[in-house]
Amino acid sequence: MKALITGVNGQLGKALLATQPDGWTCVALDRAALDLSDADAIARVVDAQQPDVVLNAGAYTAVDRAESEPELAHSINAGAPAAFARALGSSGRLVQVSTDFVFDGASGRGYCPDDARNPQSVYGASKAAGEDAAGDAAIIVRTSWVYAAGGANFVRTMLRLMQQRDELGVVADQIGSPTWATGLAHVLWGLAAKDATGIWHHRDAGVASWYDFAVAIAEEAHALGLLARIPAIRPIATADYPTPAKRPAFSVLDVSATRAFLGDGPVHWRSNLKTMLKEEQALG
């Protein structure tokens, strides 16, 4: 089987390469090799490579900047899956990564794959449009709060700020679930190998606020020696930290269907956080 992976320099793209299963060959493309806003370039690459599966890990992920760049966000997050679906036709499968931002955050329970979407930001709307553009034959995997060693993410941002400051304020009224990119990569490969279709959810077990996540990062990093001391971490409200894009207040994803289909058990986010921090330590 041959897979084409986009966004290979991103944290998920790197994780997909690192977890490549036996029996697969990969063509890995970064932004310089494939502009995801260029539908013609996508068609040429698919025609030249003839992949069995496209793992579209590339995306426009600058959530706040998307509010001022809606056309670019949509050209990548919706235009690319549409172009891949057209180019693949019936000869290959598209695995499209999506997000908890397609929901409005008003639910009192975990969001199921067939729940109604109501994105509250340009980024969320562009990803919802990407789900539609991917088509019925695609594998769509929604996830949340993705992080990995060496990537650009909340964990590494917190580590940097904790090294620089004596006190931090972190939002405590947005609830979701962290997701380790390596675990997500295994799920994408698993769904592709089992010839799934439709919408699936993946996240690590457990839920947290950004404040909870930050406290855990500080405690685990200090235990490993990545932090010399733990700064004071204050819970703050979303209103105290205004951003251009609205975030969902509650974006926990129900992953029961995914777990049953793949036959695996969830790993708690704090356990995966420890593993990631050990990898970060090894990177120096």
Question: Which residue numbers are catalytic?
Answer: 123
Adjacent-strand bridge partners of 106: none
Contact status, residue 142 vs residue 200, Cβ threshold 8 Å: yes
DSSP string for residues in the chain: -EEEEE-TTSHHHHHHHHTPPTT-EEEE--TTT--TT-HHHHHHHHHHH--SEEEE------TTGGGT-HHHHHHHHTHHHHHHHHHHTTSSEEEEEEEGGGS-S--SSPBPTTSPP---SHHHHHHHHHHHHH-TTSEEEEE-SEE-TTSSSHHHHHHHHHHH-SEEEEE-S-EE--EEHHHHHHHHHHHHHTT--EEEE---BS-EEHHHHHHHHHHHHHHHTS-SSPPEEEEE-GGGS--SSPPPSB-PBP-HHHHHHHT----BHHHHHHHHHHHHHHH-
Q: What is the DSSP letter of 33?
A: T
Q: Angle at Cα 181 formed by Cα 122 and Cα 234, nearest 5°?
A: 70
Give first-to-last CA distance, the chain, whole Å: 35
Say how many residues make up the chain. 284
Matching residue, tokens 């919408």? 199
Instruction: Kindly state the tokens that stand for 189.
Output: 């490969």
